[in-house]
Structure 1
Amino acid sequence: MTPEQNKFITLSGPATPLGDLLRQYWQPVAITEELEGERPLKAIKVLGQDLVLFRDEDGRLGLIDRDCPHRGADLAFGRLEDGGVRCPFHGWLFDVNGACLETPAEPKGSSFCKRIKQRAYPVREVGGTIFGWFGPLDADGQAPALPALDCLAAPDSHVFSFKGYLDCNWLQALEVGMDPAHASFLHRYFEDAEADANYGKQFRAHSTDSDLPMTKVLREYDCPDIAVTPSDCGLRITTLRHLDGGDTHVRVTNVLFPQAFVIPLSSTMTITQWHVPIDDHSCYWYAMFTSFAEPVDKPLMREQRLQLYTLPDYMPRVGRHNNWGFDVEEQKTRTFTGMGEDINVHDQWAVESQGRIQDRTREHLGTSDKAIVAYRVMLINQIKKVQKGEAPLALPPLGEGNAGAGPATIDGVAPGGMAPEAYWRDAVERLRAEATWNVPALAL
């Protein structure tokens, strides 16, 4: 890959080719709990843009540019009052739609404020995640509907949202999630743990239709067969590990174009995770954990993750500044990395240690990287479509009955003699049919 090609697929600011593509999709901008408390206002940066997210007295969400259109003062320090956010500099007041409601220093009877509008962006809140729209609007000035995804169709009781900061470009953060081979090494534990004692933790559950811990499968079968096929949402990745005795471990994951993946957490819970650029050198991951069985234990899952991340900015407690918690003795005896039990730290090291923007001119991709190759080809092609004025790949909208939700994802063991594809399709149908909420059937 040339330096120019690397910039083409990594730089996402305003008026960049990649930035124009990403602005054709809803972007997670915050999680609901960030606006809890007595002052529901937060400065955020997304795709290189400085913004203010707030909730007014009536509970309406607003997402507007951060600089006051009067003389550029910072609205992140504004007063939440009188139906909007008021700039402390001269008292100009803006509502959730960016309309200027008051310019109090102007002469009495002045209509000046009616000519002022702060740029505002559509927002949607679902499942504990707040999404912003930065792309074109339709003829009626409306943003498109959210996409049809299980995490957006599920009841709030069955979805838990969280986020975390990564000190690197969004693309290398995303690419680790579409790489099935790395889990056998980066996330290798030398001992297995009881699944019941590790609720909500990745690779600590048992695979579906088996009593095999995922950790054991990954550790003992480290050369999987990987297949990548285009799908309605982006790419489907099927990873097979052929077990002793004739059974086959089957893991189906998805690249949700352009910047998310959908993977299984356990036999009844999935993860949909976006990687959203803050700027070109940093990003947030946003994860929505969706349960198809019992409601999610949100307090427990939040407590688990706050052991690694600090509030209010969801910054990791380990990173470059302390060598990601690396411990030589642990690397010898407990984990492959020597960086603790949490796979988020493992992934964080893997992507941050590549540099803030990975130099892809120096990499040597192998057969096990076929999903990454396929994704980059897709990304480049979709950027070029937008440059031509064409619409990029998109999921159908979330509509009545949540038709078209998905995509399918599973981690299970197919019995000997059963074709892996037949197995995972059957397992996905069973999961959805036995769900405790109204999950639509998928056309598999």
Structure 2
Amino acid sequence: MISAEQNDRITRVAAADPCGKLLRRYWQPVALVDELAGPRPVKAVRLMGQDFVLLRDESGQLGMMDRDCPHRGADLAYGRLENGGLRCPFHGWLFDVKGNCLETPAEPEGSKLCTRIKQRSYPVVERSGVIFAYIGSGEPPAFPDFDCFVAPDSHTFAFKGLFECNWLQALEVGIDPAHASYLHRFFQDEDTSGSYGKQFRGASADSDMPITQVLREFGRPDISVESTDYGLRLTALRRLNETREHVRVTNVVFPQAFVIPMSSEMTISQWHVPVDDTHCYWYAIFTSFTGPVNKQQMREQRLALYELPDYMPRQNKRNNYGFNIEEQRSETYTGMGQDINVHDQWAVESQGPIQDRTREHLGTTDKGILAYRRLLTAAIDANLAGDQVPMMLSPEAAAAMSGPASIDGIGAAGDPQAYWREADAKRRRESSWAAPRMAALSGRDA
């Protein structure tokens, strides 16, 4: 249990808030690349309570700048994309992707006003179908060479969705290995051959046992948490019998992402990004170690559940998340359909816009959540003191990182670490894109 002041300190993200100051030191997802497709690649973006406009100019350059025109504050998200930049419709002032004012056409002939005007702009980069922006001061950290960033485009797929709650409670559902046995419990097991693109619907690796069966029948995982150079590694063990155990390895990548197994061939790297204090987007990059991702199938699966342009879930609190009494009795633990994102959405949104942690009572299985909160609190304090914070990577340090390993499989009981390390190594050895990198890193360490 924590105080109200401590809760505010780790949840609120305005520029003046301690947590907001910390999160601004990291790259943040702000849009899918798909969102800038079409005839007018301009998009309004809200991130940590600030408003921006994201654009791709006529030459293909990306840019992001403050949304209010520096002339008289009109909304640049409605600007005209022309003549090498974005033009404010109010008086025609034109800005390039770096925020330079190129023209002030209403001013007298020969005016030099535009040379003195600069709209604040921000670094933006594309990575695996997601556009990341950096809105902090100073130099941003380098991107770690994690699987989701080094896999070829053909082997990744990106999507997102809106949660109407604070970012931290949304993230914490992914740091809780125990909830899957309950929140995501299915009373029947589907044919795992039809599980492509669906989480928790396939078979655990090295077995033909459906993950749904494992979670349903073994609801008391033994959870361990260890610190890593990127954040935390969580291992959840479910003993199936005297000789076999289910091993699930998930990761927290500081400050606000997790990497988890989706299936034996695919992982999910997911960020929870504050829109403001009471809304957040999850951004996910799905990474395949085997063949190319069927992007059309995965997109169609998800668009059946999310409405464009805002990626609002079709099942939400306004329609009771599709809750069905008969389904809850006979099909799913929640009665809220087959998609686990809906289950997670209900769980975190039902806690309120910002969870009141002064009223919670944590248990043994919440050790990952406690470890993350300690890590977050220490980083907030260090940042305010001007000390080093996690994951401020140099290019050299970023290039030396890999993985992180995320495994869901069944192996011999007794040595889970040996099992998941070999399962991860085997998957990489057999992957067309991961094997060369694995060999290169091994050679560099030799």
Cα drift, residue 147 of structure 1:
2.4
Q: Deviation of residue 196 (structure 1)?
A: 1.8
Matches of 1:396 and 1:426 in 2, distance apart?
28
The answer for the alignment partner of 1:421 in structure 2 is: 417
Residue 28 (structure 1) aligns with: 29
Q: Aligned residue for 1:84?
A: 85
Greater shift after overlay, 205-214 or 275-284? Answer: 205-214
What secondary structure, in the 3-state scheme, does the structure 2 residue paired with 1:411 have?
strand
Q: Is the 8 A contact 1:148 1:396 kept in 2?
A: no
Question: Following the alignment from structure 1 to structure 2, what is the Cα–Cα distance between the partners of residues 404 and 284?
Answer: 26
* Distance across 2 between alignment mates of 1:414 and 1:144: 38
Which residue of 2 is the match for residue 300 of structure 1?
297
Over aligned residues, Cα RMSD in angstroms? 1.5
2:432 to 415, 418, 436: 436
- Sequence identity percentage: 61
Equivalents in 1 of 2:299, 2:88: separation in Å? Answer: 34
Is 1:269 aligned with 2:303?
A: no
Tell me if structure 1 keeps the 8 A contact 2:144–2:401: no
Shift of 1:135: 1.6
1:227 to 224, 227, 232: 224
Do residues 287 (structure 1) and 284 (structure 2) align? yes
Which residue does 2:338 correspond to in 1?
341
Cα deviation, residue 397, structure 1: 5.2
- Classify 1:256/1:87 alpha carbon distance in 2 versus 1 (closer, same or farther; 3 Å): same
- Contact (CA 8 Å) 1:47, 1:277: kept in 2 or not? yes
Contact residue 145 and residue 398 of structure 2 kept, 8 A: no
The CA distance in 1 between the partners of 2:385 and 2:398, in whole Å, is 35
Question: CA offset at residue 148 of structure 1?
Answer: 2.3
In structure 2, C-alpha distance between the alignment counterparts of 1:356 and 1:285, rounded to whole Å: 16
Show the 5 A alignment for 1:396-407. 396=393, 402-407=399-404
Q: SS in structure 1 opposite 2:302?
A: helix
> Which residue of structure 1 aligns with residue 377 of structure 2?
380
Partner in structure 2 of residue 53 of structure 1: 54
Q: Return the letter of the residue paired with 1:105.
A: A
Distance verdict in 2 for CA 1:279–1:401, change over 3 Å: closer
Aligned partner letter, 1:433: R
Secondary structure class of the residue paired with 1:284: strand
C-alpha distance in 2, partners of 1:248/1:161?
32
Secondary structure, counterpart of 1:7 in structure 2: helix
Contact 1:78 1:86 in 2 (8 A): yes
Which residue matches 2:176? 179
Query: Following TM superposition, by how much is the alpha carbon of 1:403 offset from its aligned partner in structure 2, in angstroms?
Result: 3.7
The aligned amino acid for 2:205 is T
Deviations 1:63-108 (A, max 9, x none): 0000000000000110000011000000000010000010011111
Counterpart check, 1:209 vs 2:212: no
Give the superposition deviation at 1:184: 0.1
> What CA distance in whole angstroms lies between the structure 2 residues aligned with 1:385 and 1:400?
20
Q: Aligned ranges for residues 345-356 of structure 1 at < 5 Å?
A: 345-356=342-353
- C-alpha distance in 2 between matches for 1:348 and 1:428: 30
Q: CA deviation at 1:15?
A: 1.5
Cα distance in 2 for partners of 1:26, 1:2 equals: 29
SS across alignment from 1:9: helix
Determine the C-alpha separation between the residues in 2 that align with 1:300 and 1:395.
36
Q: CA deviation at 1:399?
A: 6.5
Q: Is the 8 A contact 1:169 1:282 kept in 2?
A: yes
**Deviation digits for residues 22-80 of structure 1, max 9, x if unmatched?**
01110000001100010100001001110000100001001000000000000011000
Structure 1 unaligned blocks of 5 or more: none
State the TM-score, normalized to the length of structure 1: 0.96
Q: Does 1:369 align with 2:366?
A: yes
- CA apart distance, 1:212: 0.8
Contact 1:147 1:397 in 2 (8 A): no
1:314 to 308, 311, 314: 311
Structure 2 letter corresponding to 1:29: V
| Aligned partners of 2:26 and 2:141 also within 8 Å | no
- Tell me the TM-score normalized by structure 2: 0.96
SS at the partner of 1:186? coil
1:358 corresponds in structure 2 to 355
Partners of 1:334 and 1:402 in 2: CA distance: 46
State the match for 1:166 in structure 2.
163
The equivalent residue for 2:128 is: 127
Aligned-partner SS, 1:318: coil
2:344 counterpart SS class: helix
Paired residue type of 1:317: R
Task: Give the counterpart letter for 1:181 in structure 2.
Answer: A
For the residue of structure 2 that corresponds to 1:202, the secondary structure is coil
Shift of 1:267: 0.7
Structure 1 residue 109: Cα displacement: 1.5
Query: What SS does the aligned partner of 2:8 have?
Result: helix
